[in-house]
A and B are shown apart, each in its own frame.
Chain A
């Protein structure tokens, strides 16, 4: 007699095996009884743990990039679309899973003969073709209208240029014909000039902002989940993305197109301010450069900055203390993308190095991030004070930036870029120089 048993080790042919007593009629040579319940239980336990972990992750409260928590009209449009589609897709998925599961269990192989084979069920086939087509058609109507609504630029109130490069975002605010920036007129005594900043995109609440995006090196993707969907930024092309929010606060984002070594460290934040606060922000950004007082540590830091940093980083209005010449950076000669973050008002923003690290200590950061909308503007516009400066990360960055953030910063190994670095190189600064630089940068707000 020959039959088959199934176990976790596969199928084993058993010769002359007594099926009822599991006692071999002849000396057993090849079969070891295998328990099937224990591995199944173990698998079920692992699946349960994994499923539970996934389910629990949905309960996270500190999830600033939660795509299910819209904070603006555009994100709300996407949200209003994805919920019904998710529901429809969920119902369809459930039906399919149940049908497949039922069929697998009900018609599993028990050694029964193969049933009679039939060819075709026209009614069923036509039905299963028409039904998905109808579902897709129903889904298409709101989808297409949402796509068109998200591509509309006619209601733009404010245009902000966004340029991606490895691995940070640059923002510049054009001056309009009437001398305003996004419709905001600079305070008396200030000259209207384009504002240039990085890391944090500051925008007025209740305003339809149009991002005009591009890239200087490779393809990046701009995504602030709580304000809108993703938009690729392709070198040589101009892309448009609507942003709007009525609620003051900081909204986190992340580059979502793999763009090289530090793609994971290319972050961005949209900062929404009440109109009055946005006006204050503009006035502060346009305020003229104030040199450090002579004889201070910050004054020493200015010299270090001019010698070490100004080749790539621009501080508007900075004059070389030794020569008296206006300092103009030349990142195009040193950096592959041709740009480095403008540090004129570094301490007016909360982050550095591609918005990867905070300029604020954790306590001060919480004060800003968790501030009520009505208090947010005031907290944000305080900038970074000496007490709140996150010296730990900033010092590490200045000591050896490629060690803190992976970058192609060794010019001797960059033949393909003519020796131009991708990111900030190691500058071999002494601790005294770092102290002086921190003092100088702390005044840049």
Chain B
């Protein structure tokens, strides 16, 4: 009448009950008695369940159960989404003690896993045909999955590519991308020579390239960016008070912008006699005094025609909370030019010392500026 498993559980439950009573009477310990009583209760529950399902054994005379019972149905395939969801939930919790970005990633994973799991569960109830179920899942999910996966894939490739480029030296970049270009050419040539190459081969080659790129990107990301050659800007020089005669490297391309060439308020030239003069578009002759508007960018070019490195300097007066602010170009080599954008917040009459362009080290080089 009782199945084997039921007998074992009934015996165990009975033994636990007796042990509980004996222990309770003999020892009187509350904790032990509760523990044994709990074990007895659990065993009696399991025994009851086992008796109800009869050890989950199908009797030999119930042949129909082999085809119509729930257990006879094909089990759904294993799903990765519970694990992914758990990973997302764990990341969400971890973000409390780590970084907000971890939480965002966890939330994305959790939402993606929830959505995918729901769609998969829905599709598995579509019919008894697993192939059909897969098809309806694909019809629903692929229009969302493909663009997202495409964006993620492209992002990973672009990011890897950028890491590689940022970590390589100038020569290394030339060599690496020459080799890469040659490889692309070679592979393309091979495919062209053998037009009937299988899609598997093509996929393998492309996959290998992507893996190599991502691996290279990861290595490059960990090794860090190469040392950048930094040239101080006008703002850097002003902020650090380096507008005197001290040396500073000039960016020779900074004056080559279209705006720098075509939208000049003036070109200031220092000649070899130490005279600074301004050429203003529209005026036929050079001048030693300029009128420049207030509250608007004024682009000027400094041309050094002297035989010594020089820079152009101007004190623009009070600006915001600052009492005074000095702007300057980098040190310009003989024959060189530099670009400077100046904004005057205050009119000249409100600045005690007025506005003027000067060249440190050359007393005679002055162009007076009036801001009305």
Contact = CB atoms under 8 A, between A and B. Distances in A.
Interface stretch (B21-29, B109-117, B176-184, B259-267): B259-267
A214 B263 CA distance: 10
A170 B290 CA distance: 17
A238 B259 CA distance: 10
B263 A193 contact: no
Contacts of A173: 291
A337 B350 CA distance: 20
Contacts of A212: 281-282
Contact of A153 (B259, B281, B293): B281
Interface stretch (A50-58, A67-75, A324-332): A324-332
Interface string B271-290: 00000000011111101111
A196 interface: yes
B263 A237 contact: yes
B264 A238 contact: yes
B361 interface: no
B346 interface: yes
B291 A172 contact: yes
Given A172-B372, A195-B372, A240 B281 contact: yes
Contacts of A216: 295-296
A316 B371 CA distance: 12
B294 A237 contact: no
A441 B289 CA distance: 32
A339 B282 contact: no
A238 B263 contact: yes
B347 A328 contact: yes
B241 interface: no
B345 interface: yes
A168 to B, nearest CB: 14
Interface string A313-343: 0101000000000101011100001110010
A363 interface: no
A339 B349 contact: no
Given A153-B281, A172-B293, A326-B350, A196 B372 contact: yes
A3 B195 CA distance: 62
Contacts of A177: 285, 287-289
Interface stretch (A90-98, A154-162, A429-437): A154-162
A159 B295 contact: no
A362 interface: no
Contact of B293 (A163, A237, A314): A163
In order of increasing CB-CB distance, the 6 nearest A-B pairs are: A338-B295, A174-B291, A196-B372, A194-B372, A328-B350, A237-B263
Given A172-B291, A332-B294, 9 more contacts: A159-B283, A175-B291, A175-B370, A194-B370, A214-B296, A236-B263, A237-B262, A240-B281, A331-B295
29 contacts: A163-B293, A172-B293, A172-B372, A174-B290, A174-B291, A175-B291, A176-B287, A193-B370, A194-B370, A194-B372, A195-B372, A212-B281, A212-B282, A214-B296, A216-B295, A236-B263, A237-B259, A238-B263, A238-B281, A326-B350, A328-B347, A328-B349, A328-B350, A330-B345, A332-B294, A338-B294, A338-B295, A338-B345, A339-B294
